[in-house]
């Protein structure tokens, strides 16, 4: 594990989870693995927070959930983006980019 | 998916009960999190950790497991709940949409149900509004429960007080907080331009403080106002203030000219709400002058009890005071049993309306019930023909509850439509009742749409929906799905449905029969009332009343001159064959009721009370009364000081002198012990003065003299109303300030007196007519359905040689069994119920066998006609054609 992993900014976890699902249907463990791989350990994403986010998004009808067989044929809960979730992902991604650009611009100018 | 589905059924939506859902949410979350941990353990173990280390590390990495479990479950449950809610709302919306669409597809049925049930609800609500205003709502006075009416009680009569009574009562210490008396007087009002007759109430000074009403402007009467010799003052009603005093505050203190005398307006009352002050133009102060005799009994007394007073004690006190006054009392009143008594003011004002309200409300509610039964019947037929559609729904997974709910939504839609119509009908009905309802209900002016009305209508609409919706719904969904789907025309289900419909139609007849019997009894009563020998000429007589302005006519000679001159002028009008005066008129306006002591009766013997009418000598001839014995009154009988001679009617003669001639008999009037005797000089035929429905009590006619108020009676040789303009003109020429009021033919007076029984019987008869119509529609529908269902059987029967007569007999027999069953039950119900309305009947018993049998016969006849149509259709079936099509 790399040193000093960064704590997650409030509200970004939902965005990450949505993004992970944009590639297709996945169960919770797979999502956790993707987040871990893609951040290269720079971000700490607790599994607890991840599952909470999944159920929260499910309640908000941004993702669908369905039981299905996992790779090793266990019963797993698979999540899929709903059309509403896709829209939300687009909006939030754009927002995040603007945010990052804005912060970056200030940091570069200073 | 769902390979090991034995543990859990698939997606969440089909799980029917909440506890199952709850368990599944919990186990779903557990399973999901466990899987995650196990996969992580597998991964860690693969990287070289022992299984135990891996488990600890996985749990550590995961974070707060318990909190996550709770959070996830919570989220899932919230989602389930909202989904359920939207689902059921969506279902309801869908049901509504489908319901509206399928109802619009059968517009005639929809309209029939909405119209019949709507009329039922609306009419019931309208009648309820009147009953509510009359009986249920408290009187619009301060603490109305503490208000009582005090009267002289001589069962079965309740008499008002005389001035002497009231003054005697006032001198006593009582536990009443305050009390007041009032009497009505018509006075002529003139403001220089117009002369009109006003309705005034002459009240003692505490009248409004007893009721707890304060003047809107100015002041209430004071004790000083009530003293003899104080200036005459009056309070204006709000309407009079607006219309005649210009609605300006400076009207207070101004004089108004009443009967030629000036009264000062000291205040204006708020718009009147209650039965004691509504409809009066002015309230005049009563100033008592000690009376010379004990009668007449024109003064109503009201009193207010203090808070928490014991009514029994107050009533006992009244009796005790009455006994204490006994010596005066005995000589002034007729009866040993007479005493003072009190009763709740509202009860007293409502009077005998209980029977009428009960009857009207019961009648209209029964019509509503029949309408619901009818609607139920129609819906059963519709639902039966839709059995297959419903069975398909059920086969596609709709539960029985779901199908019932759909059917109830449909009936709810119908009920909502009916309720909308009912609001319109109820408001129309309330308007009608406000205008015309006064003949049967008191306090019609207080009818309005209030919360109670809204609740009643809501309750009626909801029970309608259940009444006509639930039975068909339960019935339609009761059978097995499988069977309904397989048989295109299920004859087994048909039997059950037909039974149910027959029961409903039988119930309709059972409800309609008592209604028709009641209507029949009322119509017979009305007819009996019309048959009553009134004893006077009604066709060629014109009557009216004249009040002279008292202030200008104080001189006896001037008064006499006016009446003489008027009589002379009217008598010479073309077409007039007779003119007379009286202070009372048949059939229900006695001049007064007076008591008298027959010569030879013991001093402590109870005195009798009968109607007394003051008449001019021409009275008997003008009204067509026959002289049976002795002579008529003559001018020489007029004696301003003493009552010398009277004429009585035959009923009086028979009552007091059954086996001898009354002529020459003597009595002393009004409890006057030192007056000279009055002698009976003649006997006339009977005339009703206390109402057409009252027995003849015996009337005393005495000579009219003086007086500023008289009825004018004109006999014409042609149409009496054509005389009216000329008579009016004669009065105006002679005295412009003396209006001629209440112009009517004697026949008109009789009609007026019959208005109440007439309008009541018409109301009930129209309800009964609707009930009969709905029942007939019901039996027609059921038998039409029967024929349709049995086309095959009937055709086979005919093909096998059965005659058309047999077929007709079969159908008619089937129908009439239902009708006759219903009529028999209904007749028994009526037998039990009609005695409750015996107070409303005249000349016919509450269980009059003729009325009962003829109504039953009528219903059977009409039903027979209705059944004949389907029977006719059955007879005309072409067996070959029907059987070929099968």
Enumerate the domain spans of chain B: 12-91, 156-336, 353-530+756-885, 541-755
Cβ distance A58 to B1 less than 8 Å, yes or no, reads: no
| A74 and chain B in contact, CB less than 8 A | yes
What is the β-pairing status of strands B608-615 and B700-703? parallel
What is the β-pairing status of strands B678-684 and B645-649? parallel
To the nearest whole Å, the CA of A97 is away from the closest chain B CA by: 29
Q: Is the peptide bond before B156 cis (omega within 30 degrees of 0)?
A: yes
Cβ distance B40 to A74 less than 8 Å, yes or no, reads: no
A79, closest residue in chain B (CA to CA): B32
Q: Secondary structure of B181-234 in the HEC alphabet?
A: EEEEEEEEEECCCCEEEEEEEEECCCHHHHHCCCCCEECCCCCHHHCCCCCCEE
- Residue B107, pLDDT score: 87
- Residue B294, pLDDT score: 62
- Residues B648 and B744: their CA atoms lie apart, in Å, by 26
- Out of A48, A61, A77, whose CB is closest to B63? A48
Q: What percent of chain A has pLDDT over 70?
A: 91
Q: Could you read off the pLDDT of B554-604 as tens digits, one per residue?
A: 788 889 999 999 999 999 999 899 999 999 898 888 878 777 888 887 766
What is the β-pairing status of strands B709-716 and B608-615? unpaired
- Out of A49, A59, A76, whose CB is closest to B35? A76
Cβ distance B65 to A52 less than 8 Å, yes or no, reads: no
| A67 and chain B in contact, CB less than 8 A | yes
| Block residue for tokens 């129609």 | B378
- Residues B286 and B296: their CA atoms lie apart, in Å, by 16
Cβ distance B8 to A67 less than 8 Å, yes or no, reads: yes
Chains A, B: CB contacts within 8 A come to 74
**Most distant CA atoms of chain A, gap in Å:** 55
Q: Could you read off the pLDDT of B708-733 as tens digits, one per residue?
A: 889 999 999 888 888 888 998 899 88
- Residue A38, pLDDT score: 84
Backbone angles phi, psi at B273, to 5 degrees: -115, -25
Residues of A with Cβ-Cβ distance to B8 under 8 angstroms: 67
Residues in chain B predicted with pLDDT less than 50, given as ranges, are 1-23, 328-332, 334, 488-492
Q: How many CB atoms lie within 10 A of CB B225?
A: 21
Cβ distance B28 to A77 less than 8 Å, yes or no, reads: yes
| A84 and chain B in contact, CB less than 8 A | no
Residues of B with Cβ-Cβ distance to A54 under 8 angstroms: 72
- Residues composing chain A: 110
Cβ distance B3 to A69 less than 8 Å, yes or no, reads: yes
Q: Is the peptide bond before B587 cis (omega within 30 degrees of 0)?
A: yes
Cβ distance A58 to B76 less than 8 Å, yes or no, reads: yes
Cβ(B815)–Cβ(B808) below 8 Å:
no
- Residue B19, pLDDT score: 34
- C-alpha B689 chain-centroid distance: 27
- Residues B393 and B484: their CA atoms lie apart, in Å, by 12
Task: Write down the domain spans for chain A.
Answer: 12-109
- Out of B3, B62, B71, whose CB is closest to A47? B62
Cβ distance A67 to B79 less than 8 Å, yes or no, reads: no
| A58 and chain B in contact, CB less than 8 A | yes
B70, closest residue in chain A (CA to CA): A52
Cβ distance A52 to B61 less than 8 Å, yes or no, reads: no
Cβ distance B71 to A70 less than 8 Å, yes or no, reads: no
To the nearest whole Å, the CA of A88 is away from the closest chain B CA by: 19
Interface test with A, best of B14, B37, B75 (most A CBs within 10 A): B75
| Block residue for tokens 């909006």 | A91
Cβ distance B2 to A67 less than 8 Å, yes or no, reads: yes
Architecture of A12-109 per CATH? Orthogonal Bundle (1.10)
Interface test with B, best of A75, A78, A84 (most B CBs within 10 A): A75
Q: How many CB atoms lie within 10 A of CB B636?
A: 10
Q: How many CB atoms lie within 10 A of CB B204?
A: 24
């Amino acid at each position: 594990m790399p040193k000093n992993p960064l704590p997650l900014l409030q509200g970004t976890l939902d965005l990450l989870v949505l993004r992970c699902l944009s590639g297709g249907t996945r169960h919770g463990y797979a999502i956790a693995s993707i987040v871990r791989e893609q951040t290269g350990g720079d971000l700490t994403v607790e599994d607890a927070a991840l599952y909470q986010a999944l159920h929260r998004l499910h309640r908000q009808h941004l993702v669908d959930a369905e039981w299905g067989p996992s790779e090793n044929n266990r019963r797993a809960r698979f999540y899929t983006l709903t059309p509403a979730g896709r829209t939300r992902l687009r909006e939030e991604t754009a927002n995040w980019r603007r945010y990052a650009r804005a912060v970056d611009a200030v940091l570069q100018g200073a | 998916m769902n390979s090991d589905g034995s543990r859990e059924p698939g997606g969440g939506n089909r799980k029917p009960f909440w506890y199952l859902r709850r368990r599944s949410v919990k186990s779903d979350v557990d399973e999901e999190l466990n899987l995650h941990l196990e996969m992580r353990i597998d991964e860690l173990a693969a990287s070289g950790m022992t299984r135990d280390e891996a488990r600890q590390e996985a749990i550590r990495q995961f974070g707060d497991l318990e909190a996550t479990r709770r959070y996830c479950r919570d989220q899932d449950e919230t989602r389930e709940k909202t989904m359920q809610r939207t689902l059921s709302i969506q279902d309801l919306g869908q049901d509504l949409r489908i319901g509206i669409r399928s109802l619009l597809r059968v517009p005639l049925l929809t309209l029939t149900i909405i119209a019949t049930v709507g009329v039922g609800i609306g009419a019931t609500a309208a009648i309820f509004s009147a009953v509510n205003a009359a009986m249920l709502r408290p009187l619009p006075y301060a603490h109305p429960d503490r208000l009582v009416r005090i009267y002289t009680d001589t069962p079965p009569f309740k008499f008002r007080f005389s001035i002497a009574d009231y003054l005697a009562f006032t001198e006593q210490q009582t536990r009443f907080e305050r009390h007041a008396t009032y009497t009505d007087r018509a006075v002529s009002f003139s403001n220089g331009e117009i002369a009109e007759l006003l309705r005034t109430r002459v009240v003692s000074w505490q009248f409004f403080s007893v009721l707890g009403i304060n003047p809107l402007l100015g002041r209430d009467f004071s004790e000083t106002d009530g003293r003899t010799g104080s200036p005459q003052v009056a309070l204006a009603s709000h309407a009079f203030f607006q219309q005649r005093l210009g609605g300006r505050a400076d009207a207070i203190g101004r004089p108004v000219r009443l009967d030629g005398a000036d009264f000062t307006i000291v205040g204006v009352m708020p718009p009147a709400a209650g039965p004691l002050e509504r409809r009066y133009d002015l309230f005049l102060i009563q100033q008592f002058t000690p009376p010379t005799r004990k009668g007449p009994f024109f003064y109503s007394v009201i009193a207010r009890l203090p808070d928490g007073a014991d009514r029994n004690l107050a009533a006992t006190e009244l009796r005790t005071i009455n006994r204490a006054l006994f010596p005066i009392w005995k000589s002034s009143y007729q009866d040993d049993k007479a005493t003072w008594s009190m009763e709740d003011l509202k009860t007293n004002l409502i009077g005998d309306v209980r029977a009428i309200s009960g009857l009207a409300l019961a009648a209209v509610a029964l019509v509503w019930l029949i309408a619901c039964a009818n609607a139920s019947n129609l819906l059963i037929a519709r639902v039966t023909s839709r059995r297959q559609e419903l069975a398909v729904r059920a086969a596609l997974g709709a539960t029985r509850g779901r199908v019932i709910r759909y059917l109830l939504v449909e009936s709810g839609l119908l009920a909502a439509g009916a309720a909308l119509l009912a609001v319109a009908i109820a408001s129309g009905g309330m308007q009608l009742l406000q205008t015309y309802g006064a003949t049967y209900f008191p306090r019609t002016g207080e009818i309005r749409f209030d919360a109670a009305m809204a609740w009643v209508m809501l309750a009626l609409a909801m029970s309608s929906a259940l009444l006509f919706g639930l039975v068909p719904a339960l019935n339609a969904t009761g059978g097995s799905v499988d069977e309904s789907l397989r048989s295109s025309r299920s004859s087994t289900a048909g039997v059950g449905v037909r039974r149910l419909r027959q029961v409903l139609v039988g119930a309709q007849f059972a409800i309609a029969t008592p209604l028709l019997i009641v209507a029949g009894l009322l119509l017979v009563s009305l007819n009996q009332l019309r048959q009553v020998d009134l004893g006077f000429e009604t066709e060629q007589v014109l009557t009216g009343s004249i009040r002279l302005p008292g202030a200008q006519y104080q001189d006896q000679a001037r008064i006499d001159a006016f009446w003489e001159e008027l009589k002379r002028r009217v008598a010479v009008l073309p077409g007039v064959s007779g003119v007379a005066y009286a202070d009372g008129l048949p059939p229900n306006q006695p001049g007064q009721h007076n008591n008298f002591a027959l010569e030879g009766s013991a001093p402590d013997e109870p005195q009798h009370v009968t109607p007394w009418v003051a008449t001019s000598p021409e009275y008997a001839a003008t009204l067509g009364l026959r002289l049976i014995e002795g002579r008529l009154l003559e001018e020489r009988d007029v004696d301003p000081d003493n009552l010398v001679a009277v004429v009585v009617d035959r009923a009086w003669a028979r009552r007091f002198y059954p086996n001898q001639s009354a002529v020459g008999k003597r009595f002393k009037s009004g409890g006057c012990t030192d007056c000279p005797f009055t002698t009976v000089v003649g006997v006339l035929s009977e005339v009703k003065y206390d109402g057409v429905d009252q027995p003849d009590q015996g009337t005393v006619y005495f000579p009219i003299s003086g007086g500023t108020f008289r009825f004018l009676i004109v006999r014409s040789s042609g149409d009496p109303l054509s005389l009216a303009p000329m008579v009016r003109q004669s009065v105006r020429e002679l005295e412009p300030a003396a209006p001629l009021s209440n112009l009517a033919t004697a026949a008109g007076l009789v009609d007026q007196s019959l208005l109440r029984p007439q309008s009541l019987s018409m109301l009930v008869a129209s309800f009964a007519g609707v009930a009969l119509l709905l029942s007939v529609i019901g039996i027609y529908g059921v038998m039409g359905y029967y024929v349709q269902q049995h086309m095959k059987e009937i055709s086979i029967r005919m093909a096998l040689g059965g005659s058309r007569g047999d077929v007709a007999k079969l159908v008619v027999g089937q129908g009439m069994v239902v009708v006759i069953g219903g009529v028999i039950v209904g007749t028994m119900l009526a037998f039990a119920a009609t005695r409750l309305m015996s107070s409303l009947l005249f000349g016919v018993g509450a269980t009059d066998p003729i009325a009962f049998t003829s109504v039953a016969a009528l219903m059977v006849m009409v039903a027979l006609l209705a059944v004949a149509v389907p029977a006719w259709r059955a007879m005309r079936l072409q067996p070959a054609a029907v059987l070929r099509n099968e």
